[in-house]
Amino acid sequence: MKKILIVDDETNFLLSLEDGLREFSDTFTIATAHNGKEAVAILEREDVDLIITDIKMPEMDGFELLAHLSIAHGDIPVIVMTAFGSSEIEERLDSMGAFQYIEKPIDFDVLIEKVKEGLAAAEKGHISGVSLASFMQLLSLDKKTCTLGVVSGDNVGTVFFFDGELMNAFTATMEGQEAALEIAGWDPVEIEIQHLCRQRERVIEAPLGFLLIESARMKDERKERESGGKGLEEGDKKAEKAAPAEGVAREIDPATLAKPAETGEGIAREIDPASLVSEPEGPTIPTAIAPMFDALTSMDGVNRLAILDRQGLLLADYKHGSEFGPYVTLLLAETEKLNVDLDISAPQSLVVNKRTGNKLLVIAGPQIVVGLELSNDASAGSIADSMRPMLQRISL
């Protein structure tokens, strides 16, 4: 018979869970622990098939328990209980795999479903334990301050978090964003956690979500190349050849773009934004841009999003981005023409401050263009820096 270990420091809550799960006593038995330390003791003397754990606990919290599981019990599926309370957060954690997430107060029907899924996946060998990507996402969501020691085979790395922000990372030969991308792609890993951060100066400006998705993409690309695949290599060469020249983004008053213009050589002509974008053939998002779309739509501060190809065809949109798309194309077209007229290199990204306080960010790649309307507190520069490598490699 299967055994489930439930870890939570609230005795009454543990009793209520036991009572709710009693009707499934013919399928699995229940063991309980009040913190990670007690859970580790149980794991040392008993076989456990699935763990349900809270995050905030005394003596040894959920993060320390997850770190221990990554070293000693990497094959046990885990369900994390938290009070984060957001469907978007649940989707972000689920997309990273490894452990499941359930929101407090617990819905027993949802809990039972996740337990069945976890046990079934374990039986089929589809559980890889606690992944580093999942762990880092959870640290960010919980605004954790800590230092991670990460070991994968002969590789050793260190990752620093302060108030949930990724500050810096080191390997034997790399530092900063390069090191973070490398470490996030390691699998399997052993994680050690210290509840302090010795790196208070933020070296890595890119959002964590971008780094994790880009690291996963790089990992898949390496596997493809190692297996002898040529498609990605050829795609990279085309993207590299078509990459725009380096430039400096400038602020432009959107009002100047709407003025009627005279026609003639070297003079901007009036453009009907509606004529620049064709409607997509269907709602399906192209596979090549799906990871980037998921990362952008999960970020705070993104009010609208439009992803288009270089001919102006709308590929994906978010929060009325289809209405926003024509102006992204117009803004980029006018800016690129201005650069040609002035004989200067085209910028790879463009930031426009709106009178409302929001910002428009346009990033151009060899084959796609991304336009975002951002809230005033969002960092357009960090987002642009994170996205450029992804745009360079996308091949439709």
- Amino acid, res. 267: I
Does the domain made of 2-135 have the CATH classification 3.40.50.2300?
Answer: yes
Cα angle 299, 304, 306; round to 5: 105
Distance CA(197)–CA(22), nearest Å, equals 43
Question: Which pLDDT score, from 0 to 100, does residue 142 have?
Answer: 82
**Hey, what are 166's tokens?**
């990724």
Among candidate residues 264, 279, 273, 282, the one with its CA nearest the CA of residue 341: 264
Does the domain made of 243-393 have the CATH classification 3.40.630.30?
Answer: no
Q: At what angle do helices 208-226 and 290-297 cross, to 10 degrees?
A: 170
Omega prior to 188 cis, within 30 of 0: yes
Neighbour-count burial of 268, counting CB atoms closer than 10 A to its CB (0-12 exposed, 13-18 middle, 19+ buried) = middle
Domain residue ranges in the chain: 2-135, 143-204, 243-393
Among candidate residues 314, 358, 316, 360, the one with its CA nearest the CA of residue 335: 360
| Contact present, 77 and 121 (Cβ < 8 Å) | yes
Question: Which pLDDT score, from 0 to 100, does residue 289 have?
Answer: 85
pLDDT truncated to tens, each residue of the chain (396 aa)?
Answer: 899 999 999 999 999 998 888 889 899 999 999 999 999 999 999 999 999 999 889 999 988 998 898 888 878 888 888 776 545 445 544 444 446 778 888 888 889 988 888 888 767 654 445 678 888 888 888 888 999 999 999 999 999 999 999 999 999 999 999 999 999 989 888 899 998 988 888 999 888 877 887 888 788 778 878 876 544 444 444 444 444 433 334 444 444 444 444 434 443 444 444 444 444 444 478 888 888 888 888 787 888 999 988 888 889 888 877 778 888 887 887 777 776 766 666 667 888 887 777 888 998 888 889 999 998 888 888 788 778 777 887 887
Question: Which pLDDT score, from 0 to 100, does residue 256 have?
Answer: 42
